Amino acid sequence: MKFEKLIHGKLIKRYKRFLADITLDTGEEITAHVPNSGAMTSCIEENCEVWVSFHDNPKRKLKYTLELTKIKENLICTNTGIANKIAIEAIENGTIKELQGYDNIKPEQKYGNQNSRIDILLWNNDSDKKCFVEIKSVSLNLGETLAFPDAKTTRGQKHLEELRDMVKEGHRAVMLYVIQRTDDLPFRIAYEIDKKYNEIFEEVTKEGVEVLVYQSNINLDKINIKGKNKGLKG
């Protein structure tokens, strides 16, 4: 996926989760939308380098969107919505080999009995068995590993349980973690941040929910999934 032209600056501060004040290289101070509901620990700090995109849409309250940050020479994509886009791209171009062989791919499809939407639904025309793929963007660096989540997530817990429900109904269910930073480190669940999420993760993976962890390639022009991460570490 290609980025629109990115504009460089330095972070002043992030606040109210979805707002960031930034000084552009021109000296102009702007407020950008931050498309990330997490704590953003280890991927944002005062005066760090950032890159924003500009959107001249009269319906938008904020014209700028925070896309990338740089911490200790590592580029980090802080826009969590991009994970879904590059995952679809990687399925379609064959990079995610475990999700090949389906006739159809649709994003954001309603499913289950809790009025939820699955990130990606895959299925074949000649089969009633579907493949439900939930995607999580990973940006937390804990030193020796990358991890998810970076804050307690009842929503994430619910997603794991819903995937388990799909397995019980005879479908395939996959939890896909997309590493959206350039650090070359293994991945694990951040059990010290969300003990309940880790407990549910352990339960559902024993009951048939599959886990895939893929690494992104990131530069100032584009981002894409390049291959599997070093692996899940307990």
What are the boundaries of each domain within the chain? Answer: 6-77, 81-228
Architecture per CATH, 6-77: Beta Barrel (2.40)
* CA end-to-end span of the chain: 31
The per-residue pLDDT for 184 is 85
The per-residue pLDDT for 4 is 85
The per-residue pLDDT for 58 is 83
Tokens of 7: 């504009």
- Over residues 61-88, the mean pLDDT reads 96
In contact, 124 and 169? CB cutoff 8 Å? no
The per-residue pLDDT for 233 is 56
The per-residue pLDDT for 54 is 95
User: What element of type H or E holds 203?
Assistant: helix 195-206
Describe the strand order of the beta sheet including 187-189 as a list of residue ranges: 140-141, 146-148, 187-189
Tokens of 83: 């994970």
Predicted structure pTM score: 0.95
Per cent of the chain over pLDDT 90 is 91
Q: Which residues contact 74 (CB under 8 A, 6 or more apart)?
A: 141, 181, 182, 183
pLDDT greater at residue 232 or residue 163: 163
Tell me the pLDDT band of 82, cut-offs 50, 70 and 90. Answer: very high
What is the tens place of the pLDDT at every residue in 165-216? 999 999 999 999 999 999 989 999 999 999 999 999 999 999 999 999 999 9
In contact, 77 and 35? CB cutoff 8 Å? no
The per-residue pLDDT for 80 is 95
What is the tens place of the pLDDT at every residue in 120-165? 999 999 999 999 999 999 999 999 999 999 999 999 999 999 999 9
Q: Hunting for tokens 């475990």 — which residue is that? A: 98
Residue 81: pLDDT over 90 = yes
pLDDT greater at residue 57 or residue 74: 74
Identical fold at 6-77 and 81-228? no
Residue 65: pLDDT over 70 = yes
Architecture per CATH, 81-228: 3-Layer(aba) Sandwich (3.40)
Pick from 37, 135, 122: nearest CA to 86: 135
Residue 15: pLDDT over 80 = yes
Q: What's the CA gap between 63 and 60, in Å, rounded?
A: 6
CA distances from 117 to 105, 114, 210 (A): 14, 9, 18
- Over residues 14-24, the mean pLDDT reads 96
- For 12-45, letters b (16+ CB in 10 Å) and e give bebeeeeebebebeeeeebebbbebebbbbbbbe
Taking all residues of the chain, what is their mean pLDDT, rounded to a whole number?
95
